[in-house]
Structure 1
Amino acid sequence: MTRIVIAGGQVFDGTGTPAEAADVLVEGGQIVDVGTGLDGDVRVDATGHTVLPGLFDCHVHLLFDSADLVRSLNTPFSLPFYQAIGNMRATLDCGITTVRDAAGADLGVAEAVRQGLVEGPRMQIAVNMISQTGGHNDSWMACGAEIPQLLPPYPGMPGGVADGPEELRKVVRSMIRAGADVIKIASSGGVMSPRSNPRHAHLRDEELAMVVREAEAAGIAVMSHAMSGDGILAAVRNGVRSIEHGVFLTVEAIEEMCSRGTWLVPTLLAPRMVLGQADAGVPVSDVVLAKARTVVAEHAASFRAAVDAGVRIAMGTDSGVGPHGDNLTELTLMTQNGMKPAQALHAATRSAAELMGLREELGTIEAGKRADLVLVEGDAEQHVLDGTLKDAIRAVYQDGRKLR
């Protein structure tokens, strides 16, 4: 096998230690050594560059790229599957080699990547989001029509609205049958849903407990779209692995998250994407805009409180609410709201790998790990601060194969 050595750069290995000069030796899709003076069959000169582990985005929607409801109503059903190929390419171009798709991608999309039919980040999929009637995945509009935010139910995409423990048990099992690697629920209302309030908690304790119990029986975790303080706290107390968004975090919820080791995937970018599209002329309803504007300031304050308290944080963007390819803006937003650049990068590498149960394979540059690597010209941490990280990426490797 060809041995490739990426030599002469500064290696940010994701373990928590500062970046330092080192070479990285890759063979057969794996990192076989990290050190100085390494030799290989092919030498990649990384002088003046930072070598990062492949990055993670723990909250994306690869089949979507806009909040434009009018456009979606005029889009043929199958077109998003083809558009997803470009969305995956844009994600890889950010150095993101692993994602968690938080609803929209079905088993066929995941298998197309796994079988090498299309290039894309390796993924864990939720298939569809589960919410209560009137919740974040209820497509009922005030006019009486039902217009799905994501995709309508079809073979491979079970419906996601359920009420009561027994209905939820069946829906969770349906998601698992359809290929879900993680179960996604909504324990509060949200910004994009037409008839829900992000300050209101959804699903009761007995319902949340049932979801977590059924997921655990299948050996998988639960992620919860949770904005309201009560919705966050209920989800945490009932054993979800990660809180998505966490907009209206309370002191009690933060303390409970720290006590239980629950993760926060903040998606600071998400409401900003909605507002940015509205500014660009995309038709966004007044109700959704009002919610997005309310969320932004509270979201940042909650994130800062979580950072200060030591909540475990993994990077996620909600890309799909807006265009893919701007994912790394999330890292800059994290540094603007209390994180140091190295902490933000850690949230997108080792921490994210741990959240997704992939720490033994990915997230750090160590011998024996899969060779997902990103070559960044200059100082990656400074690029995070400046918001220029994407522009500085010179190469992306996935399992030792150069993708760009």
Structure 2
Amino acid sequence: MKSLLRILVLLFTVSLTAQSTYLHCGKLVDTESGKVLTEKTVIVSGNKIISVEDGYTNPKNSEDTVIDLKSKTVMPGLIDMHVHIEGETSPTRYLERFTKNKADVAFVSVEIAKRTLMAGFTAVRDLGGSGVNVALRNAINKGTVSGPRIFTAEKAIGTTGGHADPTNGMRKELMGDPGPAEGVINGLEDARKAVRQRYKNGADLIKITATGGVLSVAKNGQNAQFTQGEVNEIVKTAKEYGMVVAAHAHGKEGMKRAVIAGVQTIEHGSFMDKEVAALMKLNNTYLVPTLSAGRYVEEKAKIPNYYPLVILPKITSTMAVLDKTIEMVIKEGVPIAFGTDAGVFPHGENAKEFVYMVEAGWSQMFSLQSATITNAMLLDMETELGQIKEGYLADIIAVDEDPTKDISTMENVTFVMKNGMIYKQ
């Protein structure tokens, strides 16, 4: 009897693994060649793409499923390299540091994760939170909750009074003296310890705030906030622990120090000049422009009391140069990765970045490739994500129109498959 039971279990398991999903794709974006192909069938088994065939192939087994996407444009799942998945913008955001418990943050983050996935973003890089982002990543990986693949920096690293100092703007009795455990450093020893603490806490990468920031409760949004030695030590230690470094940076000097140290990406880059652009090209450092954040913040700054008063001059000065900076970046050919800073604006609206990129001067295909094949390479997953290709993970989305003709269609993703599972149809 036991032998028969084992055989039945084995047969049942085999029958499950043999089931395949056939996606009949009217159009398919080939991110590797930069072309839009027509009339393709993508065959998925388990969590992998097992074949991409010409025409509309019919399944051989009655257990297999056919998904009709003949009127859609199909492409790889999107990757956003800059989100903050633990929360999002609101007029009460600066007060919520004192009113929300980590449990509150966790429940909010679960809803945000699902919203992000439904928008077609099957992978994201979370660049700084409280540590809930690590637990959320783990829960998604285990299948406990739905959401994108998360690559998280856990808590961003800053300096005392710097952009990532969590006590900025608090009264003196609450400020205390946060250190490496809280992601605040001063000196080389602190730098090493902060990186190691992030590793211990479960981070996938390191995020530093190389300059001041626009939305922190501090006066300067451009000044360099690490010495060259500190940034060097952070990058060196991160490398020893198998991690790359992303650097928030608006001002020129902070960007230079970060690029010289060997960071992988510069986030924002608002006041970049040709010298920094040349340095980034030389070092193959990618810019993550986060145009969506700038557009949203500029609009909300017009609403009284939406942001603390100390922030408003920083918004004005940053937005005054941003268009010219992006024009220069395009002309100089700075390497570009797709990232939005979602959380600064509502999650789920990440795809507006495509529209802003095209308006700025990048082509539709370039913007799509930046969010797929480019970002997969930066995540060291270029053989698993970013393409619809045999052997790749089945992260696949579809939109109603051809985005190379109407990029705004990216704002309405109508089909989402992640890891072979359909989440939206």
TM-score by length of 1: 0.93
Q: CA deviation at 1:201?
A: 1.2
Matches of residues 14-29 of structure 1 in structure 2 within 5 Å? Answer: 14-21=31-38, 22-29=40-47
Of the candidates 143, 156, 168, which is equivalent to residue 140 of structure 1?
Answer: 168
Of the candidates 104, 119, 129, which is equivalent to residue 94 of structure 1?
Answer: 119
Q: Using the alignment, how far apart are the partners of 2:172 and 2:292 within structure 1?
A: 31
Q: Using the alignment, how far apart are the partners of 1:282 and 1:10 within structure 2?
A: 47
Q: Using the alignment, how far apart are the partners of 2:216 and 2:173 within structure 1?
A: 14
Q: Using the alignment, how far apart are the partners of 1:120 and 1:377 within structure 2?
A: 22
Q: CA deviation at 1:246?
A: 0.8
Q: CA deviation at 1:24?
A: 1.2
Match of 2:410 in 1: 389
Matches of residues 251-270 of structure 1 in structure 2 within 5 Å? Answer: 251-270=274-293
Q: Using the alignment, how far apart are the partners of 1:164 and 1:309 within structure 2?
A: 35
**SS of equivalent to 1:47:** strand
Question: One-letter code of the match for 1:39?
Answer: N
1:263–1:355 CA contact under 8 A, matched in 2: no
Match of 1:402 in 2: 422
Q: Using the alignment, how far apart are the partners of 1:25 and 1:61 within structure 2?
A: 34
Q: CA deviation at 1:66?
A: 1.3
Q: Using the alignment, how far apart are the partners of 2:98 and 2:175 within structure 1?
A: 8
Of the candidates 306, 324, 327, which is equivalent to residue 329 of structure 2?
Answer: 306
Question: One-letter code of the match for 2:37?
Answer: E
Question: What runs of 5+ residues in structure 1 fail to find an aligned partner?
Answer: none
Match of 2:224 in 1: 201
1:70–1:283 CA contact under 8 A, matched in 2: no
Q: Using the alignment, how far apart are the partners of 1:276 and 1:78 within structure 2?
A: 31
2:158–2:208 CA contact under 8 A, matched in 1: yes
**SS of equivalent to 2:353:** helix
Q: RMSD of aligned C-alpha atoms?
A: 2.1
Match of 1:118 in 2: 145
Matches of residues 224-263 of structure 1 in structure 2 within 5 Å? Answer: 224-263=247-286
Query: Which string of whole-angstrom CA distances, capped at 9 and with x for unpartnered residues, describes residues 303-343 of structure 1?
Result: 23222222221111111122111101111111111101111
Q: CA deviation at 1:280?
A: 5.6
Matches of residues 326-341 of structure 1 in structure 2 within 5 Å? Answer: 326-341=349-364
Q: Using the alignment, how far apart are the partners of 1:171 and 1:320 within structure 2?
A: 24
Match of 1:2 in 2: 19
Matches of residues 52-91 of structure 1 in structure 2 within 5 Å? Answer: 52-67=75-90, 68-91=93-116
Match of 1:39 in 2: 58
Question: One-letter code of the match for 1:13?
Answer: D
2:274–2:332 CA contact under 8 A, matched in 1: no
Question: What runs of 5+ residues in structure 2 fail to find an aligned partner?
Answer: 1-17
Task: Using the TM superposition, name which of 245-254 and 13-22 deviates more.
Answer: 13-22
Match of 2:11 in 1: none
**SS of equivalent to 1:233:** helix
Match of 2:15 in 1: none
Q: Using the alignment, how far apart are the partners of 2:262 and 2:356 within structure 1?
A: 28
Q: Using the alignment, how far apart are the partners of 2:344 and 2:89 within structure 1?
A: 5
**SS of equivalent to 1:249:** coil
How high is the sequence identity, in percent, across the aligned residues? 32
Q: CA deviation at 1:381?
A: 2.5
Q: CA deviation at 1:277?
A: 3.6
Q: Using the alignment, how far apart are the partners of 2:322 and 2:155 within structure 1?
A: 24
Q: CA deviation at 1:279?
A: 4.4
Question: One-letter code of the match for 1:116?
Answer: G
1:191–1:291 CA contact under 8 A, matched in 2: yes
Q: Using the alignment, how far apart are the partners of 2:355 and 2:188 within structure 1?
A: 40
Q: Using the alignment, how far apart are the partners of 1:112 and 1:146 within structure 2?
A: 32
**SS of equivalent to 2:189:** helix
Q: Using the alignment, how far apart are the partners of 2:106 and 2:219 within structure 1?
A: 28
Q: Using the alignment, how far apart are the partners of 2:75 and 2:29 within structure 1?
A: 5
2:86–2:133 CA contact under 8 A, matched in 1: no
Match of 1:321 in 2: 344
